[in-house]
Amino acid sequence: MNGLASGMIVLVVGANGGIGEGVVRQFEQAGADVITHAGHSEGDLTDEQACRAFFQEAAARKGRLDAVVNSAGVQPVRQLDGMTAAQWREVIDTNLTIAFNCTQAAVQVMRETGGSVTHIASIEGTRPARGHGHYSAAKAALIMHARSAALEYGPLGIRCNTVSPGLVERPGIAEQWPEGVASWQRASPLGRLGKPEDVGNACVFLASPMGTWITGHDLVVDGGMSTSPAW
Ligand SMILES: NC(=O)c1ccc[n+]([C@@H]2O[C@H](COP(=O)([O-])OP(=O)(O)OC[C@H]3O[C@@H](n4cnc5c(N)ncnc54)[C@H](OP(=O)(O)O)[C@@H]3O)[C@@H](O)[C@H]2O)c1
């Protein structure tokens, strides 16, 4: 990856999250100048004005933005039976509305220069999981949002894609959810969970000069889990 993002100015949203940190590391290793939005400590990005202001200030500070990666999200587990509208809205707002706000804010600063926007979706955007009815719906809509943005913003030279990870390691996951980790390892053709860097590498590839004819694409990064039969 060395040098692949050399000279690029990249904004990573959700940069203090497990995957976000991996995205930042891989862009830095690839030579990018990375600006971070580290979650609630820097502002709630469900707020459209706050989102636009952050992007504008970042672009003004660096002179431009070449790429944005949005890794903001929440993943609470709740059955549909008994789910309240407030619980539904929290997941839709964080996983989908923030993405819309980031796309619009990115376009505002990339309109003259072009650029790349990548949102972190999930394999659950195409295949549901129990207790994630709100999350799967948000990620499915996110994948379609990116395709719509690719269609409408392509003429401005702005590409928009999603990266859909499978289960990614985080500290303590094996202790907190041993049966989930074990069944993932059993079913996955490559026999392991993803690392934040696996997702970061996909984001660097899409944003880099290697990805300049790729837009409206959902890049699945799941160690082959999607090939695994469910029966
Ligand atoms: N981990 C996985 O196995 C996995 C698999 C597939 C897809 N994904 C997706 O990948 C993305 C990152 O996941 P992760 O595991 O890294 O999650 P994480 O560690 O919980 O990080 C989520 C990030 O989103 C930020 N965020 C949440 N609400 C926000 C808001 N209202 N305004 C601004 N920032 C906000 C968080 O900031 P705070 O810390 O301040 O809340 C944090 O930086 C998510 O979209 C997730 O759905 C994860």
pLDDT digits (tens, 9 = 90+) for 118-141: 999 999 999 999 999 999 999 999
pLDDT of 191-227, one tens digit each?
A: 999 999 999 999 999 999 999 999 999 999 999 999 9
Q: Looking at the predicted structure, is the pLDDT value of residue 228 above 90? A: no
Using DSSP's 3-state secondary structure scheme, residue 119 falls into strand
Catalytic site includes residue 153? no
Q: How confident is the model at residue 214, as a pLDDT?
A: 98
Q: How confident is the model at residue 1, as a pLDDT?
A: 74
Q: Looking at the predicted structure, is the pLDDT value of residue 97 above 90? A: yes
Q: Residue 4 is which amino acid?
A: L
- Residue 4: inside a domain, yes or no? no
- Residue 230: inside a domain, yes or no? no
- Residue 68: inside a domain, yes or no? yes
pLDDT of 146-187, one tens digit each?
A: 999 999 999 999 999 999 999 999 999 999 999 999 999 999
The tokens for 32 are 């990018």
Q: How confident is the model at residue 230, as a pLDDT?
A: 76
Q: How confident is the model at residue 18, as a pLDDT?
A: 98
**Containing domain of residue 112, as a range?**
9-222
Whether the CB of 22 sits within 6 Å of ligand 1: no
Q: How confident is the model at residue 231, as a pLDDT?
A: 78
Q: Residue 219 is which amino acid?
A: L
Mean pLDDT, residues 30-46 taken together = 97
Q: How many domains does the chain have?
A: 1
Whether the CB of 200 sits within 6 Å of ligand 1: no
Q: Looking at the predicted structure, is the pLDDT value of residue 2 above 90? A: no
- Phi and psi at 116, nearest 5°, equal -135, 135
Whether the CB of 36 sits within 6 Å of ligand 1: no
Task: Give the list of residues 6+ apart from residue 99 with CB closer than 8 angstroms, or none.
Answer: 70, 72, 119, 142, 145, 146
CATH of the domain at 122: 3.40.50.720
Q: How confident is the model at residue 218, as a pLDDT?
A: 98
pLDDT of 39-56, one tens digit each?
A: 999 999 999 999 999 999
Task: Give the list of residues 6+ apart from residue 138 with CB closer than 8 angstroms, or none.
Answer: 91, 92, 94, 95, 96
Dihedral in degrees, nearest 10, Cα atoms 167, 146, 55, 8: 80
Q: How confident is the model at residue 100, as a pLDDT?
A: 99
Q: How far is the CA of 179 from the centre of ligand 1 (A)?
A: 22
Q: How far is the CA of 15 from the centre of ligand 1 (A)?
A: 8
Element spanning 43, H or E: none
- Contact by Cβ (8 Å): 123, 166: yes
